[in-house]
Structure 1
Amino acid sequence: MRLLLVVDNHLGRTKDGQVWSKGIYDYSFFSRYLDVFEEVNVAIRIEDIKDNIGYPNLCSGQNLKFLPIPDFHGVNGYIKNYFSVKKAINSYSKDCDCAIIRIPSAIGFQFASIIKNKIPYALEVVVDPWDFAAPGMLRSKVRPLVRLHWTNQLKKLCKHANGVSYVTQFALQKRYPNKAQIHKESLQHFQSYYSSANIKKDFFAPPKVFLPSQKAFQIIHVANTINSYVKGHKELIKAVSLLNKKGHDLSVKFVGDGELVSEFQEYAKLLRVEEKISFVGRIPDKDSMKRALAESDLFVFPTHGEGLPRVLIEAMAVGLPCISTRINGIPELLSDDLLINVGDIEELIRKIEYLISNSSLMTEVSKKMSYKAKEYSEDKLQIRRKQFYIKLKKYTESVLKEK
Structure 2
Amino acid sequence: RPEFALVEVVGDPYDVFAPGAIKHPLRPLFRQIFSRRLRHQCDNAQACSYVTEKKLQLRYPPGSGSISTHYSSIELPPEAIAQTTRQPDLNKSEFSIIHVGSLHHLYKAPDVLINAVARCASSGMNVRLAIIGDGRMRADLQAMPAVKKLGKRLRFLGQFPAGEAIRDELDKADLFVLPSRQEGLPRAMIEAMARALPCIGSTVGGFPELLPHEDLVPPDNTEALARKVQEVLMDKDRMQRMSQRNLEKA
The answer on 1:272 being equivalent to 2:149 is: yes
The answer on 1:369 being equivalent to 2:215 is: no
Q: Which amino acid aligns with 1:207?
A: T
The answer for the alignment partner of 1:210 in structure 2 is 88
CA contact (8 A) 1:303 1:324 kept: yes
The answer on 1:253 being equivalent to 2:161 is: no
Deviation (angstroms), 1:233: 1.1
User: What CA deviation, in whole Å up to 9, does each residue of 1:215-240 have, x standing for no partner?
Assistant: 111111111x2122221111111111
The answer on 1:221 being equivalent to 2:99 is: yes
Larger gyration radius, structure 1 or structure 2: 1
The answer on 1:340 being equivalent to 2:217 is: yes
Q: Which runs of 5+ in 1 are unaligned?
A: 1-115, 184-188, 374-403
Structure with more contact order per residue of length (Cα contacts < 8 Å, sep ≥ 6): 2
The answer for the alignment partner of 2:52 in structure 1 is 168
The answer on 1:199 being equivalent to 2:83 is: no
User: What CA deviation, in whole Å up to 9, does each residue of 1:300-335 have, x standing for no partner?
Assistant: 111111122111111101011001111132111111
Q: Which amino acid aligns with 2:245?
A: K
Q: Which amino acid aligns with 2:28?
A: P
The answer for the alignment partner of 1:81 in structure 2 is none
> For 1:338 and 1:269, how far apart are their aligned partners in 2?
24
Query: Secondary structure of 1:162's partner?
Result: strand
CA contact (8 A) 1:126 1:196 kept: no
> For 1:156 and 1:269, how far apart are their aligned partners in 2?
42
Total equivalences in the alignment = 248
The answer for the alignment partner of 2:232 in structure 1 is 355
- Cα distance change, pair 265–330 in 1 and its aligned pair in 2 (3 A): same
The answer for the alignment partner of 2:39 in structure 1 is 155
Query: Secondary structure of 1:364's partner?
Result: helix
Q: Which amino acid aligns with 1:136?
A: G
> For 2:145 and 2:194, how far apart are their aligned partners in 1?
30
> For 1:201 and 1:122, how far apart are their aligned partners in 2?
32
> For 2:241 and 2:34, how far apart are their aligned partners in 1?
41
Deviation (angstroms), 1:269: 5.4
- Cα distance change, pair 277–268 in 1 and its aligned pair in 2 (3 A): farther
Q: CA RMSD in A?
A: 1.7
> For 2:205 and 2:139, how far apart are their aligned partners in 1?
29
Q: Which amino acid aligns with 1:247?
A: G
- Cα distance change, pair 268–351 in 1 and its aligned pair in 2 (3 A): same
Identity %: 33
> For 2:100 and 2:73, how far apart are their aligned partners in 1?
16
> For 1:323 and 1:270, how far apart are their aligned partners in 2?
21
Match of 1:133 among 6, 9, 17: 17
- Cα distance change, pair 262–162 in 1 and its aligned pair in 2 (3 A): same
User: What CA deviation, in whole Å up to 9, does each residue of 1:45-67 have, x standing for no partner?
Assistant: xxxxxxxxxxxxxxxxxxxxxxx
Q: Which amino acid aligns with 2:50?
A: Y
CA contact (8 A) 1:121 1:162 kept: yes
Deviation (angstroms), 1:203: 0.8
The answer for the alignment partner of 1:234 in structure 2 is 111
TM-score by length of 2: 0.93
